[in-house]
Amino acid sequence: MIVEELALLSLIRESLFGLTADIPDGVSWEAVYQEAQNQGVCGLIEVNSLHESTLQWETFRYQIVANNVQILFAQRELVQLLQKHGIPSAILKGTAAAIYYPKPYYRTMGDIDIIVPQAFFSTASVLMEKNGYVISHKADDLNVRHIGFLKDGNAIELHHHFSHQDVSIEKYIIDGLKHIEEADINGYVFPMLPSLANGLVLLEHMHSHLQSGMGLRQIIDWMMYVDKVLGDEEWEKQFRQATESIKLDMLAITVTRMCQMYLGLNDDRIHWCRDADENLCERLMYLVITSGNFGRKLGKGNQVETVVMAIRRDGLFRYLQHAGEYNWKDYKQHKWLKPFCWFYQIFRYVKKGIFSGRGKKILADIDRSKERFEVLKKLKVI
């Protein structure tokens, strides 16, 4: 890691856990600021630690707080609408992750993810449309978990399921929707899943972005949950068994130990991750740093690395077929075109030219995809 990345990790430790920041010599604060943006963690850094770019950083933090207040207001409006019509709901990620932070309103928030029991999904969707929520994307064969809405500039995803195909935590979510809890951020009250289900959502969220670019924001969401909730007793009581049942126990253990090594998570009080492979922790942190928030540092679409990674996982033909089904608009209207989707995807790559004229960059992407694949194999998630 370069000095700016090390500086950012040190500033995160200071801001979240009060540990003295150890800033390397020769650091560029402008580069640290850019790295924090790439990782989606600008709001977490206390500006009094900075020697340069203080005004720029402080201005951006104010913008984060203002945006979060707008999201909290929009979220409360939606929750109240659903409650008024007897529809149970729970917030996923977002504010349901922010509550574990020492200053929740500095955790960068984006879409509002809300889940309702499947039996209420159609009713909730119709109700939202009648109350000014405009559908931005519908559920289809490739996106079956939610419908996207927009209202007053806020993006909302209404879910009836959360899990991706290869890991399912739905039984925990279904049970959690029967035992909804209330949380409060600065007077904005919202419903959330109980602790076990909420933690599994944060773990699955990390898992879902492992292949395309898991960043520090997803890692820190998990870390703050562990810090506030998941001590040794809680891990042994129910969480360990739950993670083993969905085959994410190795991921949970490795990421938690990684947070102790690099991000300041207490290692005197939390012992259940002590047997983690520290070399694997180091390799995973490297991938997190090089990815950025949702793969931002890998470039638009993560391009070569993501393609090579997917081919390693699925095989060439299967990857091309699935990618073609996802990208070909004509196929979505004419299902008889399915046998030709793989060919469309090849043509699409040729037309975009993502593999042409990039020599050393392509080789670097391929090497990184190999490393990512090996790390994910050791984490037992592929």
Q: Is residue 21 part of a domain?
A: no
* Mean confidence (pLDDT) of the chain: 85
What is the rounded CA–CA span in Å between residue 105 and residue 94? 10
Share of the chain above pLDDT 90, in %: 54
Both 61 and 189 in a single domain? yes
Residue 136 has pLDDT above 50, yes or no: yes
Q: Clarify whether residues 174 and 304 are in a common domain.
A: no
Inside any domain, residue 254: no
User: Residues 261, 281: contact at Cβ < 8 Å?
Assistant: yes
CA 316 vs CA 2, 310, 313, 342: distances in Å: 35, 8, 9, 10
66 and 189, same domain (yes or no): yes
**Count of the separate structural domains present in the chain:** 2
% of the chain surpassing 70 pLDDT: 82
Is 6 a member of any domain?
no
In a domain, 33, yes or no: no
Q: Are residues 189 and 322 in the same domain?
A: no
List the single range of 89-93, 234-238, 331-335 with lowest mean pLDDT: 331-335
How is residue 360 written in tokens? 């050393």
Predicted local distance difference test score (pLDDT) of residue 363: 46
- According to the model, what pLDDT value does residue 308 have? 55
Domain annotation covers residue 66: yes
Q: Please report the pLDDT score of residue 359 as a whole number.
A: 44
**Does residue 268 form part of some domain?**
no
Q: What is the pLDDT of residue 250?
A: 97
**Boundary of a domain, candidates 142, 177, 194:** 194
What gap in Å lies between CA 209 and CA 203, rounded to an integer? 10
Strands (E), the chain: 90-92, 112-115, 134-137, 146-151, 154-159, 181-185, 188-192
Question: Cα separation of 149 and 34, whole Å?
Answer: 30
- Would 317 be classed as within a structural domain? yes
Give the span between the Cα atoms of 265 and 254, in whole angstroms.
Answer: 13
What integer pLDDT is reported at residue 302 of this predicted model? 47
Whether 181 has a pLDDT exceeding 80, the answer reads yes
Percent helix, strand, coil in the chain, to 5, is 60, 10, 30
In a domain, residue 165? The reply is yes
- pLDDT bracket for residue 166 (50, 70, 90): low
Domain containing 141 equals 53-194
What token pair was written down for 16?
């979240």
Report the pLDDT value the prediction gives residue 332, as an integer from 0 to 100: 72
- Final residue in a domain of this structure, among 141, 162, 194: 194
Instruction: State the CB neighbour count (10 A cutoff) for residue 46.
Output: 15
Q: The tokens of 338 are what? A: 């399915």
pLDDT digits (tens, 9 = 90+) for 31-79: 888 889 889 899 998 876 566 667 778 888 889 999 999 999 999 999 9
The enclosing domain of 103 has a CATH number of 3.30.460.40
Q: Judge residue 5's burial from the number of C-beta atoms within 10 Å of its C-beta, 0-12 exposed, 13-18 middle, 19 or more buried.
A: buried
Whole-model pTM above 0.85?
no
Domain final residue pick, 194, 215, 232: 194
Between 324 and 201, name the one with better pLDDT: 201
User: What integer is the mean pLDDT of 323-328?
Assistant: 76
